[in-house]
Amino acid sequence: MKRFIIFILILIIFGCGGKKQVKTPSEEYSYTNQAFNIVEEIRLAYQNKDNTGIRKNCSESAYREIIASIRPFDKAELEFNPVFAEMEKDGYKLYVSWNGKWSYLGNETEERGLAIFLIKGNPPKVERIIRGNPFRYPD
């Protein structure tokens, strides 16, 4: 009887320990991660006043739009959180909730909003900011 119970326990232990199948992420999920990483790189480049970092991750028109909207600041702290992403005919829209704090000449400004980044291409690049441009502050 003891041998039978030990045999059953061994079968249970080895029967449950098989290889688990690992799902590969979908193409849409991978593209969403790439798109958010691009937007994060632009955010970091903006905070560090690194125009080449912004240019690297944007189309030429988006780069000009962002650079034209930048106001002078001494220090900026932006925080991005992805909210929603959708695939459309004209590109990939990434909705990002943002909070920002800017200081300039001793004055602090805080703002928040929802930006929509239109992203195209492979590798993805920001084509334009449709709404809620976080780079146009402080006013």
Domain that holds residue 71: 28-136
Give the ranges where the chain is alpha helix by DSSP (H): 2-16, 27-47, 51-56, 60-69
Number of domains in the chain: 1
Q: Is 10 domain-assigned?
A: no
Q: Is 23 domain-assigned?
A: no
* Angle, CA 12 vertex, CA 9 and CA 14 arms, to 5°: 105
Q: Is 60 domain-assigned?
A: yes
- DSSP code at position 57: T
Q: Is 16 domain-assigned?
A: no
Q: What share of the chain is helix, strand, coil (3-state, %, to 5)?
A: 40, 35, 25
Q: Is 121 domain-assigned?
A: yes
Q: Is 100 domain-assigned?
A: yes
Q: What is the CATH number of the domain that holds 37?
A: 3.10.450.50
pLDDT at 41: 96
3-state secondary structure at position 59: coil
Q: Is 14 domain-assigned?
A: no
Q: Is 120 domain-assigned?
A: yes
CA torsion through residues 120, 126, 127, 129, sign: positive
- Tell me the pTM: 0.80
pLDDT of the chain, 139 residues: tens digit per residue = 656 555 555 656 666 666 677 778 788 888 889 999 999 999 999 999 999 999 999 999 999 999 999 999 999 999 999 999 998 888 899 999 999 999 999 999 999 999 999 999 888 899 999 999 999 988 7
Q: How many angstroms separate the CA atoms of 139 and 114, rounded?
A: 17
Q: Taking a C-beta distance cutoff of 8 angstroms, is the pair 129, 70 a contact? A: no
